Structure 1
Amino acid sequence: MFRNALVVGVRQVNQHGEAATVEQTMLSLGQNTGNMMFTQSLLRVLHGAKWGSFALSPEEIEGHDAIVLAAANWVNHFDDFGWLADRLEKTKLPVFLIGVGAQASNSEEIPNVTEGTLRLLRLVQDRSVSISARGTFSCEVLERYGITNVHPTGCPSLMLIGRDGPSPSLLNDVGFDACCMHATRHGFSKTDSFQTFLYRQAISRNIDLVLQSEIADIHYIMQHRTGEALPEKAEQAVMAVYGAAAGQVEDFLIRHGRVFTLYQDWIDYMKQRSFCFGTRIHGTVAALIAGTPAALIVHDSRTVEMADIMGVPIVRWQDIPCDRDIDIAALYSRAQLQEFVKKFSGYYDGFLDYMARNALLVAGNYREADRRILYAS
């Protein structure tokens, strides 16, 4: 069994008392705060795991018996992970790829994967029993490229719920007076009409908005910590998206914008909310970990795939009229939350099976009593 894995991935950033700029902080988080969720999960789930950077220096690797890559949507047409394959080739350790996903605009499209990424996938295939993929679509894509030892597990982030399963509070009577929401946009860019509609719902109704990769918006929230002047392109970006004057957007974001660089801060905040909805998978996962009812608005192949295998409650974006205010109560589904609770053990056991198949020792508080033979020391 591998007992001292080096988990390589994006980790949380402790910003308290630090003077890192917004750009530095977001770079550390891989330009998306949701990335820390799956790294944090693997660090907790795997026995003896320590964090390591993508530099994979000999000093970092020393004393570890395996390398575990906390993956994201790496199987796409625009990223080339040949640089990572180069670094891994210099090591002799087993390499495990966990939670890798294929990125496509729709569920029927097979992305054109770069040669460097394929080289990474082949290396992992040679050095592990199997690859953990986010769902069946990702498995299909990998198999098209000759990567056949793939197991659909979902994202490891939901493992943070723990072996006792989802909180009973998920099925309590729900109110909608303390909601929060999230939408999808990156950097300083614009977004599609549906996501724009969500941002404008947030500002027009003063609903708390959790931000992950909207760097323009995050500048407004973090400026009091960093002391930075607002970039002109940030003002232009937020006015276009929110359809309001920069001063109005600034006031909204300071009062209702939320961004988390530490996992526990995110969960503690979600515990104070009554309901969470939006298009971010990890924003939804954070709510479910906290025991807060949530609904994921699925809008692409990635969110559909992950919601399906993880049992996350969903609403399809096409079913939400954009010519009127969102009926938030209509997004809530007790039946889907009950199904999520029911399916969780299957998701959890699937990850334990993957770890056992690959001889990755699981931390004691994540093992189940009836699996003591599989996970015996």
Structure 2
Amino acid sequence: MKLYLDLDEIDNIPEAYQKSATDIMRITGLNTGNFAFRHALRHLVSDLDSYKLVNWGNARKLIEQKVKAEKLLISCANWLGFSEADERSNLVRAKVIEDFGAPVVAFGLGAQASSVSQDLELGPNTARLARAISNHSEQVSVRDHFTLTLLQKAGIQNAIVTGCPSNLINQSDDFIKNLSTQAKKSREKSLNFQKFVLGEFSGGNEHSGAVLRKTLGFMNVTNSNYLIQSPVLYPFFLRESDEIPAPYRANKPDGISHERLAGLLKQQVLGFSSIDSWLDFSRTCDLSFGMRIHGNMIPLQAGVPSVLIAHDSRTLGLSDSMAFPRIPLSIFLKTDLLDLPELMYTEFLEQLPLYEDKRQHLKRVFRDYLEANNI
């Protein structure tokens, strides 16, 4: 039996209209953007449907029933964290992999920390998980060089940097050409005839509140939709609560009333329960920008010029490994609201050739990785 260890759903939530905010966050692993790299495996693993999808709890039950696994396919996330919660979760994962003892093919293992200090070391359970994956793999796909360095420090030498699988969702031969054409076309439109998709702010940076404040200000003066992925705004979005979450109240732009803020959030916030619908909506937009890698990756794969506001080790690492178009957080904050689109188009077009070169390289890396792991 070949097993795919993951969430209960790969890239969509069945009957999502009946699900609560809590249900949606549970099913998606507390972030709807998690569906992006899982969806990408449909394009990378041609026989994905031949794998039995099981969550980690059910995998433990299979072990207790002495079910033998022929191969374990794992789409990873930013599991290599440094919190007590990460240590608890990674002990469970490590034991499952060890007890199955089957060959492992892992995609996109990533580390996440508030800094990229050279002094960082993986916790004991997290290091155990990394070694369990490594010991049962020909190679290990990791998202960035920060993750690679941490694994090498832990004695793991068979990791390779692949970026995120979601980078390869769009398989069109004209993908880059169409992105360039779209960026130039949209750039010529007046602001009133442009439609923007803005990624949800991400906490954890000392300037996160300032980014949110500026994003809300941009929403107030443009045709924008704000795409949410995390639990913060979901209850308000689904009308389970009329209370505007604290980060949004605290970062309300000057000159915008509480009522106006509530109206912006009611009218311009969107959330998606499937990657197909997210991609389909995104293609109607002219430009995407924001702090979240998948919040920008999905529009990019739909053919929309997209720019990341890089702000932490994970987004910096991922944007480096894939050459994803980006601007520094400091530049975003000091640019006037109505000058932001021109800045984004300029940076996107300047960085697009490097992104194309890197993407072609990563395609070859993934091809070799799949062959090395007999996929």
Instruction: Provide TM-score, normalisation by structure 1.
Output: 0.84
Q: Note if 1:128 corresponds to 2:143.
A: no
1:365 matched to which residue of 2? none
Q: How many aligned positions are there?
A: 350
- Deviation of 1:293 after TM superposition, in Å, equals 0.9
Unpaired segments ≥5 residues, structure 1: 361-377
State the distance in 2 between where 1:335 and 1:323 align.
Answer: 18
- For residues 165-244 of structure 1, the aligned pairs below 5 Å read 166=175, 168-172=177-181, 173-175=184-186, 177-185=194-202, 192-206=208-222, 207-213=224-230, 215-223=231-239, 228-230=240-242, 232=243, 234-243=244-253
1:367 matched to which residue of 2? none
Q: Secondary structure at the match of 2:160?
A: strand
RMSD between aligned alpha carbons?
A: 2.8
Q: Note if 1:331 corresponds to 2:331.
A: no
- Deviation of 1:61 after TM superposition, in Å, equals 10
The Cα offsets for residues 177-234 of structure 1, whole Å up to 9 and x where unpaired, read as 11111143369x9973333334333443242111111x232222222xxxx344x5x5
Change (3 A) 1:304 1:237: closer
Q: Is the contact between residue 325 and residue 352 of structure 2 (CA under 8 Å) also seen in structure 1? A: yes
2:91 matched to which residue of 1? 82
Q: Is the contact between residue 203 and residue 249 of structure 1 (CA under 8 Å) also seen in structure 2? A: no
- Deviation of 1:169 after TM superposition, in Å, equals 2.1
- For residues 20-169 of structure 1, the aligned pairs below 5 Å read 20-49=19-48, 50=51, 51-55=53-57, 56=59, 57-58=61-62, 65-78=70-83, 79-80=86-87, 81-162=90-171, 164=173, 166=175, 168-169=177-178
Structure (1 or 2) with the greater helix fraction: 2
State the distance in 2 between where 1:168 and 1:317 align.
Answer: 28
State the distance in 2 between where 1:109 and 1:154 align.
Answer: 21
State the distance in 2 between where 1:191 and 1:265 align.
Answer: 31
The Cα offsets for residues 111-167 of structure 1, whole Å up to 9 and x where unpaired, read as 342211111111111111121111112101111111221111111111212273625
Change (3 A) 1:328 1:86: same
Moved more, 266-275 or 16-25: 16-25
Amino acid at match of 2:226: L
1:372 matched to which residue of 2? none
State the distance in 1 between where 2:105 and 2:235 align.
Answer: 36
State the distance in 2 between where 1:180 and 1:93 align.
Answer: 43
Change (3 A) 1:145 1:45: same
Change (3 A) 1:5 1:44: farther
Change (3 A) 1:300 1:181: same
Q: Which of the residues 306, 309, 313 maps onto 1:297?
A: 309
Unpaired segments ≥5 residues, structure 2: none
Amino acid at match of 2:114: S
Report the identity percentage. Answer: 23
Q: Is the contact between residue 16 and residue 273 of structure 2 (CA under 8 Å) also seen in structure 1? A: no
The Cα offsets for residues 84-114 of structure 1, whole Å up to 9 and x where unpaired, read as 1122222132123221112122334453422
State the distance in 1 between where 2:206 and 2:67 align.
Answer: 44
Q: Is the contact between residue 73 and residue 104 of structure 2 (CA under 8 Å) also seen in structure 1? A: yes
The Cα offsets for residues 300-356 of structure 1, whole Å up to 9 and x where unpaired, read as 121111112212111111222447425221122312123323332111111111111
Q: Secondary structure at the match of 1:174?
A: helix
